[in-house]
Amino acid sequence: MSHHDQDRVRIFDTTLRDGEQSPGASMTLDEKLRIAEVLEAMGVDIIEAGFAIASNGDFECVNQIAKTIKNSTVCSLARAALGDIDRAAEAIKPAKMGRIHTFIATSPLHMKVKLQMEPEAVLDAIHQSVSRARNFVEDVEWSAEDATRTDMDFLYRAVDTAIKAGATTINLPDTVGYAVPSEYGQMYRDVIENVANSDKAIFSTHCHNDLGLAVANSLAGVAGGARQIECTINGIGERAGNAAMEEVVMALRTRADVMPYSTGIKTTDISRASKLVSTVTGFSVQNNKAIVGANAFAHESGIHQDGVLKAAETYEIMTPESVGVTTKKLVLGKLSGRAAFADKMKELGYELGDNAFQDCFRRFKELADRKKTIYDEDIVALVDDEVATGANRFQVISLNTHSSSNGSAVADLTMKIDDEERKAVVYGSGPVDAVFNAIKELVEFAPHLVLFQVHAVTQGTDAQAECTVRLEEDGRTVNGQGAHEDTVTAAARAYVAAANKLMVKRQKQPLAATA
């Protein structure tokens, strides 16, 4: 790493790989591509697109992202097995900049219980796997799984072996989220000092959030000499999640006085990326979540409000605009034309094809007829919903429901299924139950409903509802989203969106099962 690069921290985003390992967070190829394109636009250095050998579906996602992304490095994960590495190399082959990320456990516990390998055999596996990866690409990352519980002398030998074999990035993960900042930062100082060729690689952090310390540990790692942080949008990931990208980036930016390091992230895209990942995965962001939570820039107490009105910096250490949060109302109404709507779409960061734009504009006009005040969030929900439901086998045409306080309800639903209109009138214990029963009758299959959640896009009783439905069938899990000012209609759209994804997964599953 050249001297002028010493204060530059690379952002390695693993939302599409480690983030997707959150139970229920599986994404379709189209959704992964949308997220990858947003990550590229915001300046992410490395996008970990998946685990190529995990399934044919994962391979296809990595491969398509490698073909699409031009300004970020596209990376695939691989275990220390030659078949894994060959598959990863094949997946990232089309990438303008490709990386293979290979790993093996180095802690005594993991080597004995999980790998059932002696330490010397692990060192040999490191040499073989990194050398194999280096045959395909110059950019090879090696990770010491469970580094924070690894014997330090053995960790020095493992890192030395990986660098000699050609690894250009060395990652020392806190795999189980056990470390505290002082010891995590010290680990990097010790490794960099005790490994003779440590100057030939960039060191990386990868922290899990089991004790809520992932971001603090990542920053401590940087203070200790790491110059890459592995993180996810909204901090999603298995168990308690990963270091949250938005928190890491804004901490470095806001406290440059004590952490004089820069990233290449366009921070004004943070809010949009957070919203997209939340919508796609169905994982709502908690209101008091740092940086991207709904209350992150809200000031309830009178003293705070008074201070913020007099001088924002009294209680705001960063501006809402710096992370892409706008509080402006959308000055559009039912008389607004296509040009004004197109300008607003561009401002919000959307580029749609002609057909999708026309559909969104039509829905906007319908919404403007029914809703007095339209906010940016309304447009975002509307567009996300349109993208999620376009060109699918199943579509909701019309819906009428009737319910009473005694708990009975009836849904009168018309759907288009493979270009043929079908109608069902079905009872349920409430309007949403009746609608879901009607959909199941029309599509003729009944997956297990794992999750149903609703939240209001904006304030007010005329706010659009955004619904998430998670369905499971034979081990396949999918999420669907729907937005509408009528909550029951939004729920129907979400269920149908999920059912469409399930049909796609059904078709691909026989292939994936052979991997």
315 burial via Cβ count (<10 Å: 0-12, 13-18, 19+) = middle
Residue 133: pLDDT band by 50, 70, 90 thresholds?
very high
pLDDT tens digits for 342-372?
888 877 777 788 888 888 888 888 888 877 6
pLDDT at 513: 28
Q: What does the angle CA 491 – CA 494 – CA 495 come to, to the nearest 5 degrees?
A: 85
Question: How much is the pLDDT for 3?
Answer: 38
- Per the model's pLDDT, the better-predicted residue between 112 and 302 turns out to be 112
474: tokens are: 């034979």
pLDDT over 70, % of the chain: 90
| Res. 340: pLDDT tops 90 | no
Q: Is the pLDDT higher at 284 or at 71?
A: 71
pLDDT in tens, 92-116: 999 999 999 999 999 999 989 998 9
Name the pTM for this structure.
Answer: 0.83
pLDDT band at 306 (very low <50, low <70, confident <90, very high): low
Q: Is the pLDDT of residue 515 over 60?
A: no
Task: Judge whether residue 305 has pLDDT over 60.
Answer: no
21 versus 422: the higher-pLDDT residue is 422
pLDDT digits (tens, 9 = 90+) for 238-249: 899 999 999 999
What mean pLDDT, rounded, does the chain reach?
Answer: 88
C-alpha closest to that of 509 among 471, 476, 472: 476
Tell me: pLDDT of 302 over 70. Answer: no
Residue 304: pLDDT band with limits 50, 70, 90: low
Q: Can you tell me the mean pLDDT for 188-197?
A: 98
Is residue 344 within a helix (H) or strand (E), and if so which, with residue range? Answer: helix 338-347
| Ranges 131-135, 314-318, 366-370: which has the least confidence | 314-318
How many CB atoms within 10 Å of residue 370? 11
Average pLDDT over residues 32-46: 96
Structure token pair of residue 187: 């680990």
**What confidence score (pLDDT) does residue 359 get?**
85
Find the length of the chain.
515
CA angle 347, 352, 358 (to 5 degrees): 105
Of 240-254, 326-340, 393-407, minimum mean pLDDT range: 326-340
Q: What average pLDDT score do residues 178-182 get?
A: 97
Residue 514 scores a pLDDT above 60: no
Question: pLDDT band for position 200 (50/70/90)?
Answer: very high
Q: Alpha-carbon distance 107 to 149, whole Å?
A: 5
pLDDT > 50? residue 389: yes
Assess whether pLDDT exceeds 60 at residue 123: yes
